[in-house]
């Protein structure tokens, strides 16, 4: 028996083929026998390894067949590498999936979810056989693609290809940063690896290019990805569209690259993983040549096995071909259950050793230990929000500028609040005084230069947040939220508390023109369930927006900020409570209003100017600031009715598309906005050109009141 740092057995070489041969060669079709390759490994050990691998394969096959839906081919081909990783190298505790110093495993190829579910079940996570039998069914914990909020042991929600790849890079960044901050001689209190299995599709998607480039630059030595190189995509052979030399591409990124010619060769796979672990200065990619649908006599190495069940007849033939129980489904041999279940024993021991180390660390370094545990728990220190910048009435200041001042103050108090910008630091105002950049030779640096990589940046921040212990933020122009949308959507789906700093929020950015002027983006972000969008009107609201964002740990928050200056508005209202509740009355005539004006961001000042003009004409006007639809909608009906009084006509004003405002203004109100692309000119001219002015607001209010009468 040969064991590694994580324990386990697996020393079979199965179906060894010749170098770079194609999948149709005879060795792929016929050579399914197990051969002894390590002299010290017994035949019993080899047989047990092969039995375990086939158990993983056929749990996937049976689940997909029962659901009549799914992707069996990937688990069938990738089972050996997954088995090798999980039984020998992966440090985890199935009894406590949240153990902080566990290794992270990401199945970026989320379509092969039954591979992960089989591993979780067999190694003792709280995922009983009944859940495997309910694969892809309503309310099961085995959805079609892995979801971290549903299934214990799933680190991140994957499926949209490339996302998991980038999430894992974020996890590796978090580990490296926390280790640099908290580890001390003799106390490697943060010391774990991030592993993943990635597919052809992951490596085709652009987000993986962005993230891989940054990972190589940052020298993430504790990151190892196994590439399931099976040469098949949904359309057919990858020769149709994907013929680049992936290994050389990753070498150019600065990765350590290895090749394993046979995905069934456990010795070579394990040796490659060990070499990757030994490589401390570069992330590692192990290109493993596999056979999709391995063992299926008629479907292996075809596109048909990628995303469809084998079919009952082919299931029988495949089981017969691999010497499996033909009449049973979801069969787990007792010796496999015992063998794979040893992960629970190892996991308890590993976590106990770490807890003892943490106890000693706490005695020797009590302040650091207390801070680390506070960060892991997601707690904020007492008084963290006291003494933040105060802003006087009147002076004009862009909300991106006031955001920068508040962020700088927060960054001095909250070391766990880390982030950066997509090459727009000066424009987004996302830096923190005194912070150095996170680099390969300075992992304690707490500012991230993501480069022009919005998609990769957002996905990496998801990984940082999912890792735990840190609270990430990232910045770019609002118009480029389009590049980030897949990652933002997944953050909302997972409830991942990432803070997005979106500046240059409207036609108010001016001369850069319609390519950079977001008009539909606010509504596009508001359309994402679970994302809280906050568009503050001035410096005071911006301060409170940051406080609301930092305290919101249930999902992502988007702060939407101006490039142009806006006045700090006079109000007697409680701005903190108002922003926290999403909307509040900033100006009241003292009597039942004839009309309510609703403004957000830089347009609130226009609503206030219009209200003053309307009052002079005897039209009682209430002005409501509504920085966040989502926060307002969460309030009780009584509060909402106090802010937006029923049966009082409403007019909204916002420098974006008007679609969606009907939910607040109703059929008898009006929405002032811009339902076309902008233009290149100074911002003041643009507002006049598109009718977003106080005088136009007055005119529209009168039209609304006239139509009502």
What amino acid positions are annotated as catalytic residues?
Answer: 454
The one-character DSSP state at 85 is: I
Buried b (16+ CB within 10 A) or exposed e, 528-552: bebbbbbbbbbbbbbbbbbbbbbeb
CB count within 10 Å of CB 61 equals: 30
Number of alpha carbons in the 13 Å side-chain half-sphere of residue 152: 17
- In the block, residue with structure tokens 């962005």: 210
3-state secondary structure of 88: helix
Q: Give the list of residues 6+ apart from residue 686 with CB closer than 8 angstroms, or none.
A: 507, 508, 510, 678, 679
Q: How far is residue 458 from each of residues 452, 668, 681, measured CA to CA in Å?
A: 12, 40, 31
Q: Which of 279, 271, 276, 315 minimizes the C-alpha distance to 295?
A: 315
In the chain the first and final C-alpha atoms are separated, in Å, by 90
Q: Check the CA dihedral 399-400-405-409 and report its sign.
A: positive
Q: List, as one string, the DSSP characters of 361-382.
A: HHHH-HHHHHHHHHHHHT---T
Q: Which of 317, 319, 301, 231 minimizes the C-alpha distance to 29?
A: 301
CA 648/CA 130 separation, integer angstroms: 55
3-state secondary structure of 550: helix
CB count within 10 Å of CB 130 equals: 11
CB count within 10 Å of CB 709 equals: 4
3-state secondary structure of 168: helix
- The first and second tokens of residue 616, run together, are 């002079």
CA 640/CA 643 separation, integer angstroms: 5
> Which long-range contacts link 375-381 to residues 24+ away (Cβ below 8 Å)?
375/178, 375/415, 375/416, 375/469, 375/470, 376/100, 376/468, 376/469, 378/468, 378/471, 378/553, 380/414, 380/550, 380/551, 381/413, 381/414
């Amino acid at each position: 028996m040969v064991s590694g740092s994580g324990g386990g057995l697996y020393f079979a070489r199965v179906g060894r083929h010749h170098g770079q041969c194609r999948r149709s060669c005879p060795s792929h079709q016929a050579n399914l026998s197990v051969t002894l390759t390590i002299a010290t490994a017994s035949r019993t050990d080899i047989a047990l390894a092969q039995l375990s691998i086939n158990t993983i394969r056929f749990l996937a096959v049976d689940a997909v067949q029962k659901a009549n839906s799914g992707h069996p081919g990937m688990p069938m081909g990738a089972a050996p590498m997954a088995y090798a990783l999980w039984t020998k190298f992966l440090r985890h505790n199935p009894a406590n999936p949240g153990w902080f110093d566990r290794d992270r495993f990401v199945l970026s190829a989320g379509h092969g979810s039954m591979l992960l579910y089989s591993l979780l079940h067999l190694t003792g996570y709280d995922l009983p056989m009944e859940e495997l039998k309910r694969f892809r069914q309503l309310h099961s914990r085995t959805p079609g693609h892995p979801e971290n909020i549903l299934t214990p042991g799933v680190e991140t929600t994957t499926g949209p290809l490339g996302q998991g790849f980038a999430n894992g890079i974020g996890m590796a960044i978090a580990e490296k940063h926390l280790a640099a901050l908290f580890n001390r001689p003799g106390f490697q209190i943060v010391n774990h690896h991030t592993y993943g299995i990635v597919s052809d599709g992951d490596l085709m998607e652009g987000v993986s290019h962005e993230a891989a480039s940054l990972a190589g630059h940052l020298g993430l030595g504790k990151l190892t990805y196994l590439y399931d190189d099976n040469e098949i995509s949904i359309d057919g052979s990858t020769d149709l569209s994907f013929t680049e030399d992936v290994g050389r591409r990753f070498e150019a990124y600065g990765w350590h690259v290895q090749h394993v010619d046979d995905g069934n060769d456990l010795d070579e796979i394990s040796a490659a993983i060990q070499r990757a672990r030994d490589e401390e200065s570069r992330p590692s990619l192990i290109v493993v040549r596999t056979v999709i649908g391995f063992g299926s006599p008629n479907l292996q190495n075809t596109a048909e096995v990628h995303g469809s069940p084998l079919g009952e007849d082919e299931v029988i033939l495949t089981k017969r071909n691999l010497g499996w129980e033909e009449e049973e489904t979801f069969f787990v041999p007792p010796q496999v259950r015992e063998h794979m279940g040893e992960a629970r024993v190892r996991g308890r021991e590993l976590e106990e050793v770490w807890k003892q180390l943490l106890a000693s660390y706490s005695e020797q370094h009590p302040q650091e230990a207390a801070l680390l545990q506070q960060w892991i728990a997601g707690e904020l220190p007492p008084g963290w929000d006291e003494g933040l910048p105060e802003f006087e009435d009147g002076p004009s200041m862009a909300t991106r500028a006031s955001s920068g001042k508040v962020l700088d103050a927060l960054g001095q108090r909250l070391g766990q609040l880390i982030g950066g910008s997509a090459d727009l630091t000066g424009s987004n105002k996302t830096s923190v005084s005194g912070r150095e950049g996170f680099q390969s030779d300075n992992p304690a640096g707490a500012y991230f230069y993501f480069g022009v990589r919005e998609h990769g940046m957002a996905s990496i921040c998801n990984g940082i947040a999912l890792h735990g212990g840190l609270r990430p933020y990232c910045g770019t122009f609002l118009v480029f939220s389009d590049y980030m949308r897949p990652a933002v959507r997944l953050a909302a789906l997972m409830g991942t508390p990432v803070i997005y700093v979106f500046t240059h929020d409207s036609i108010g950015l001016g001369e850069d023109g319609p390519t950079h002027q977001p008009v539909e983006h606010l509504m596009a972000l508001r359309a994402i369930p679970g994302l809280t969008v906050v568009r503050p009107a001035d410096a005071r609201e911006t301060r409170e927006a940051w406080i609301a964002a930092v305290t919101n740990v249930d999902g992502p928050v988007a702060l939407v900020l101006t490039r142009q200056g806006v006045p700090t508005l006079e109000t007697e209202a409680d701005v903190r409570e108002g922003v926290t509740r999403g909307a509040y009355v900033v100006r009241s005539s003292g009597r039942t209003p004839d009309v309510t004006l609703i403004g957000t961001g830089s347009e609130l000042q226009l609503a206030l100017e219009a209200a003053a003009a309307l009052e002079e004409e005897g039209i009682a006007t209430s002005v409501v600031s509504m920085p966040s639809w989502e926060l307002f909608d969460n309030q009780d009906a009584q509060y909402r009715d106090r802010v937006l009084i029923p049966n009082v006509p409403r007019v909204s004003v916002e420098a974006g598309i008007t679609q969606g405002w009907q939910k607040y203004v109703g059929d008898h109100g009006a929405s002032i906005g811009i339902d076309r692309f902008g233009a290149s000119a100074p911002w003041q001219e643009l507002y006049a050109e598109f009718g977003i002015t106080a005088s136009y607001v007055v005119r529209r209010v009168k039209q609304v009141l006239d139509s009502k009468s």
